[in-house]
Protein backbone atom coordinates (compact mmCIF):
# COMPACT_ATOMS: atom_id res chain seq x y z
CA UNK A 1 0.00 0.00 0.00
CA UNK A 2 1.28 3.38 -0.97
CA UNK A 3 1.92 5.50 2.10
CA UNK A 4 -0.02 8.58 3.08
CA UNK A 5 -3.11 7.88 1.02
CA UNK A 6 -5.91 10.04 2.34
CA UNK A 7 -9.23 10.43 0.55
CA UNK A 8 -11.14 13.69 0.88
CA UNK A 9 -14.68 14.13 -0.35
CA UNK A 10 -16.98 17.14 -0.37
CA UNK A 11 -20.70 16.35 -0.35
CA UNK A 12 -23.47 18.69 0.86
CA UNK A 13 -25.03 17.54 4.16
CA UNK A 14 -28.59 17.99 2.91
CA UNK A 15 -30.39 18.07 -0.42
CA UNK A 16 -33.95 18.18 -1.71
CA UNK A 17 -35.31 14.86 -3.00
CA UNK A 18 -34.33 14.46 -6.65
CA UNK A 19 -31.89 17.36 -6.51
CA UNK A 20 -28.64 17.27 -8.48
CA UNK A 21 -25.64 17.91 -6.25
CA UNK A 22 -22.01 18.52 -7.10
CA UNK A 23 -19.46 16.19 -5.53
CA UNK A 24 -15.74 16.88 -5.35
CA UNK A 25 -13.23 14.18 -4.49
CA UNK A 26 -9.51 14.27 -3.95
CA UNK A 27 -7.18 11.52 -2.83
CA UNK A 28 -3.53 11.98 -2.00
CA UNK A 29 -1.53 9.54 -4.10
CA UNK A 30 1.76 9.93 -5.95
CA UNK A 31 0.39 8.29 -9.16
CA UNK A 32 3.81 7.11 -10.34
CA UNK A 33 3.34 6.90 -14.11
CA UNK A 34 5.93 4.25 -14.94
CA UNK A 35 7.55 6.68 -17.39
CA UNK A 36 9.95 8.42 -15.04
CA UNK A 37 13.53 7.34 -14.36
CA UNK A 38 15.56 7.60 -11.18
CA UNK A 39 19.12 8.97 -10.93
CA UNK A 40 20.62 5.68 -12.13
CA UNK A 41 18.38 5.66 -15.19
CA UNK A 42 16.17 2.84 -14.00
CA UNK A 43 12.50 3.16 -14.74
CA UNK A 44 10.46 3.77 -11.59
CA UNK A 45 7.71 1.13 -11.68
CA UNK A 46 4.15 2.25 -12.25
CA UNK A 47 2.02 2.65 -9.13
CA UNK A 48 -1.28 4.38 -9.64
CA UNK A 49 -4.91 4.24 -8.64
CA UNK A 50 -6.54 2.61 -11.65
CA UNK A 51 -10.23 2.89 -10.84
CA UNK A 52 -12.56 5.17 -8.94
CA UNK A 53 -16.24 4.56 -8.30
CA UNK A 54 -19.03 6.43 -6.57
CA UNK A 55 -22.24 4.69 -5.52
CA UNK A 56 -25.33 5.93 -3.74
CA UNK A 57 -27.35 3.33 -1.79
CA UNK A 58 -25.83 0.65 -4.02
CA UNK A 59 -26.63 2.40 -7.30
CA UNK A 60 -23.79 3.56 -9.53
CA UNK A 61 -23.17 7.25 -10.02
CA UNK A 62 -19.84 7.21 -11.82
CA UNK A 63 -17.15 4.63 -12.53
CA UNK A 64 -13.85 6.00 -13.80
CA UNK A 65 -11.07 3.94 -15.35
CA UNK A 66 -7.82 5.78 -14.74
CA UNK A 67 -4.57 5.63 -16.71
CA UNK A 68 -1.11 6.94 -15.75
CA UNK A 69 -1.96 10.29 -17.40
CA UNK A 70 -4.12 11.26 -14.41
CA UNK A 71 -2.25 13.80 -12.25
CA UNK A 72 -0.78 13.25 -8.82
CA UNK A 73 -3.48 13.46 -6.12
CA UNK A 74 -6.35 12.53 -8.46
CA UNK A 75 -9.23 14.99 -8.37
CA UNK A 76 -12.73 14.45 -9.72
CA UNK A 77 -15.77 16.63 -9.80
CA UNK A 78 -19.14 15.35 -11.00
CA UNK A 79 -22.86 15.61 -10.36
CA UNK A 80 -25.18 13.11 -8.71
CA UNK A 81 -28.93 12.86 -8.27
CA UNK A 82 -30.16 12.30 -4.72
CA UNK A 83 -33.51 10.45 -4.85
CA UNK A 84 -33.68 9.81 -1.09
CA UNK A 85 -31.66 10.07 2.08
CA UNK A 86 -28.77 7.67 2.12
CA UNK A 87 -25.08 7.12 1.86
CA UNK A 88 -22.52 7.82 -0.83
CA UNK A 89 -19.71 5.29 -1.02
CA UNK A 90 -16.51 6.34 -2.78
CA UNK A 91 -13.95 3.67 -3.63
CA UNK A 92 -10.47 3.94 -5.09
CA UNK A 93 -8.59 0.86 -6.36
CA UNK A 94 -4.79 0.91 -6.21
CA UNK A 95 -2.48 -0.99 -8.62
CA UNK A 96 -1.06 -2.87 -5.63
CA UNK A 97 -4.48 -4.25 -4.72
CA UNK A 98 -5.25 -1.80 -1.92
CA UNK A 99 -8.75 -0.38 -1.81
CA UNK A 100 -9.44 2.98 -0.18
CA UNK A 101 -12.97 4.03 0.64
CA UNK A 102 -14.87 6.92 2.08
CA UNK A 103 -18.55 7.23 3.02
CA UNK A 104 -20.74 10.31 3.27
CA UNK A 105 -24.35 10.37 4.42
CA UNK A 106 -26.83 12.87 3.08
CA UNK A 107 -30.20 13.94 4.51
CA UNK A 108 -33.28 15.13 2.67
CA UNK A 109 -34.04 18.70 3.68
CA UNK B 1 22.14 14.07 -63.52
CA UNK B 2 20.43 11.06 -64.99
CA UNK B 3 18.09 9.09 -62.77
CA UNK B 4 17.50 5.47 -63.60
CA UNK B 5 14.00 4.07 -63.32
CA UNK B 6 15.05 2.25 -60.14
CA UNK B 7 16.39 5.40 -58.46
CA UNK B 8 13.27 7.37 -59.33
CA UNK B 9 11.11 4.71 -57.73
CA UNK B 10 13.25 4.71 -54.60
CA UNK B 11 12.94 8.49 -54.31
CA UNK B 12 9.19 8.27 -54.66
CA UNK B 13 8.97 5.62 -51.96
CA UNK B 14 11.15 7.71 -49.63
CA UNK B 15 8.93 10.74 -50.10
CA UNK B 16 5.80 8.70 -49.49
CA UNK B 17 7.32 7.25 -46.31
CA UNK B 18 8.15 10.72 -44.98
CA UNK B 19 4.58 11.86 -45.54
CA UNK B 20 3.19 8.89 -43.63
CA UNK B 21 5.54 9.27 -40.64
CA UNK B 22 3.76 12.16 -38.86
CA UNK B 23 0.50 10.26 -39.11
CA UNK B 24 2.01 7.26 -37.34
CA UNK B 25 2.65 9.37 -34.25
CA UNK B 26 -1.09 9.49 -33.74
CA UNK B 27 -1.65 5.83 -34.47
CA UNK B 28 -1.59 4.81 -30.80
CA UNK B 29 -4.29 7.37 -30.04
CA UNK B 30 -6.36 6.17 -32.98
CA UNK B 31 -5.96 2.59 -31.79
CA UNK B 32 -7.19 3.59 -28.34
CA UNK B 33 -10.23 5.29 -29.85
CA UNK B 34 -10.90 2.35 -32.17
CA UNK B 35 -10.75 -0.03 -29.20
CA UNK B 36 -13.39 2.11 -27.47
CA UNK B 37 -15.71 2.57 -30.46
CA UNK B 38 -15.19 -0.85 -31.99
CA UNK B 39 -14.49 0.85 -35.30
CA UNK B 40 -17.87 2.63 -35.46
CA UNK B 41 -18.20 6.07 -37.05
CA UNK B 42 -17.54 8.98 -34.72
CA UNK B 43 -19.47 12.17 -35.36
CA UNK B 44 -18.31 15.64 -34.37
CA UNK B 45 -20.36 17.60 -31.87
CA UNK B 46 -22.49 16.62 -28.91
CA UNK B 47 -19.47 16.63 -26.63
CA UNK B 48 -17.96 19.62 -24.87
CA UNK B 49 -14.33 19.41 -23.85
CA UNK B 50 -13.02 22.34 -21.86
CA UNK B 51 -9.26 22.57 -21.53
CA UNK B 52 -6.91 25.53 -21.14
CA UNK B 53 -5.38 26.90 -24.34
CA UNK B 54 -2.01 27.19 -22.64
CA UNK B 55 -1.00 25.04 -19.68
CA UNK B 56 2.11 26.22 -17.88
CA UNK B 57 2.61 22.94 -16.12
CA UNK B 58 1.89 19.72 -17.99
CA UNK B 59 1.79 17.80 -14.72
CA UNK B 60 -1.65 19.02 -13.83
CA UNK B 61 -3.89 20.32 -16.59
CA UNK B 62 -7.52 20.83 -15.55
CA UNK B 63 -10.02 19.50 -18.06
CA UNK B 64 -13.77 19.27 -18.06
CA UNK B 65 -15.87 17.08 -20.29
CA UNK B 66 -19.60 17.03 -20.80
CA UNK B 67 -21.77 14.99 -23.15
CA UNK B 68 -25.51 15.02 -22.41
CA UNK B 69 -26.96 11.56 -22.91
CA UNK B 70 -23.62 9.75 -22.91
CA UNK B 71 -23.15 6.36 -21.32
CA UNK B 72 -19.39 6.75 -21.14
CA UNK B 73 -16.69 9.17 -22.21
CA UNK B 74 -13.12 8.28 -23.18
CA UNK B 75 -10.36 10.87 -22.85
CA UNK B 76 -7.26 10.45 -25.03
CA UNK B 77 -4.09 12.57 -25.10
CA UNK B 78 -2.66 11.98 -28.57
CA UNK B 79 0.88 13.13 -27.77
CA UNK B 80 1.48 11.20 -24.54
CA UNK B 81 3.70 8.09 -24.40
CA UNK B 82 0.51 6.22 -23.51
CA UNK B 83 -2.47 7.94 -25.10
CA UNK B 84 -5.17 6.71 -22.71
CA UNK B 85 -6.11 9.13 -19.93
CA UNK B 86 -9.41 8.04 -18.41
CA UNK B 87 -12.81 6.56 -19.15
CA UNK B 88 -15.84 7.91 -17.33
CA UNK B 89 -18.78 5.49 -17.10
CA UNK B 90 -21.96 7.16 -15.91
CA UNK B 91 -24.45 5.25 -13.79
CA UNK B 92 -28.21 5.79 -13.40
CA UNK B 93 -27.70 8.32 -10.61
CA UNK B 94 -25.33 10.63 -12.49
CA UNK B 95 -27.21 13.94 -12.64
CA UNK B 96 -25.20 15.17 -15.62
CA UNK B 97 -22.92 13.27 -17.98
CA UNK B 98 -20.10 15.59 -17.07
CA UNK B 99 -16.95 15.41 -14.99
CA UNK B 100 -13.76 17.35 -14.41
CA UNK B 101 -10.33 16.14 -13.45
CA UNK B 102 -6.65 16.99 -13.80
CA UNK B 103 -4.41 15.25 -16.28
CA UNK B 104 -0.76 15.01 -17.31
CA UNK B 105 0.36 16.09 -20.77
CA UNK B 106 3.85 15.33 -22.07
CA UNK B 107 3.86 18.32 -24.41
CA UNK B 108 1.76 20.50 -26.69
CA UNK B 109 -0.87 18.24 -28.20
CA UNK B 110 -4.52 17.52 -28.89
CA UNK B 111 -6.75 16.15 -26.16
CA UNK B 112 -9.67 14.17 -27.56
CA UNK B 113 -12.91 13.20 -25.85
CA UNK B 114 -15.02 10.44 -27.38
CA UNK B 115 -18.49 9.88 -25.96
CA UNK B 116 -20.52 6.72 -26.32
CA UNK B 117 -24.15 7.78 -26.37
CA UNK B 118 -26.94 5.76 -24.78
CA UNK B 119 -28.20 4.78 -28.27
CA UNK B 120 -24.79 3.32 -29.19
CA UNK B 121 -23.59 6.14 -31.45
CA UNK B 122 -20.32 7.95 -30.87
CA UNK B 123 -19.39 11.62 -30.81
CA UNK B 124 -16.13 13.40 -30.21
CA UNK B 125 -14.54 16.74 -29.47
CA UNK B 126 -10.93 17.79 -29.28
CA UNK B 127 -8.93 20.67 -27.88
CA UNK B 128 -5.34 21.69 -28.47
CA UNK B 129 -3.37 22.45 -25.33
CA UNK B 130 -0.02 24.23 -25.46
CA UNK B 131 2.22 22.91 -22.71
CA UNK B 132 5.20 24.93 -21.48
CA UNK B 133 6.67 22.27 -19.15
CA UNK B 134 5.94 18.64 -19.97
CA UNK B 135 4.50 16.29 -17.38
CA UNK B 136 6.29 13.02 -17.87
CA UNK B 137 9.52 13.55 -15.96
CA UNK B 138 12.84 13.21 -17.72
Asked whether residue A98 is assigned to any structural domain, the reply reads yes
**Interface pTM, i.e. ipTM:** 0.89
Q: Are B125 and B45 in contact (CB under 8 A)?
A: yes
- Domain that includes residue A19, residue range: 6-108
The chain B residue lying nearest A56, using CA atoms, is: B93
Q: How many domains are contained in chain A?
A: 1
In this structure, is residue B24 part of a structural domain? no
Which CATH number characterizes residue A97's domain?
2.60.40.10
Instruction: Give the minimum alpha-carbon distance from A1 to chain B in angstroms, rounded to a whole number.
Output: 22
- Average pLDDT in the B62-85 region? 92
Q: What is the CATH number of the domain that holds B62?
A: 2.60.40.2470
Tell me which chain B residues have a C-beta less than 8 angstroms from the C-beta of A79. Answer: 94-96, 98
Q: What is the number of structural domains in chain B? A: 1
Of B128, B129, B35, B127, which Cα lies nearest the Cα of A67?
B35
Give residue B132's pLDDT: 86
Looking at residue A85, the DSSP 8-state letter turns out to be S
Would residue A1 count as lying in a domain?
Answer: no
Q: What is the pLDDT of residue B138?
A: 47
B96 contacts in chain A (CB < 8 Å): 20, 78-79
B57 to chain A, any CB pair closer than 8 A? The answer is no
CA separation (Å) from A21 to A16, A17, B64, B94?
9, 11, 17, 10
B126 touches chain A (CB under 8 A): no
Does the residue A11 lie in any domain? yes
The boundaries of the domain holding residue B49 are 34-129
Of B93, B96, B98, the CB nearest to A60: B93
Question: How do residues B25-71 score in pLDDT, each as one tens digit?
Answer: 578 888 889 888 988 888 888 899 999 999 988 899 999 999 999 99
Q: Would residue B44 count as lying in a domain?
A: yes
Amino acid sequence: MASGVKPRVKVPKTAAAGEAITIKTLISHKMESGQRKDKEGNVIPRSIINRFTCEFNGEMVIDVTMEPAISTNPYFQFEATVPEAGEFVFTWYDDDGSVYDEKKTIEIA
Amino acid sequence: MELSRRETLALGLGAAFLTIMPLRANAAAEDAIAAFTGGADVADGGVTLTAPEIAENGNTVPIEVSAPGAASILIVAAGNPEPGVATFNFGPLAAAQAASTRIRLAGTQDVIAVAKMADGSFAKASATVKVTIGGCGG
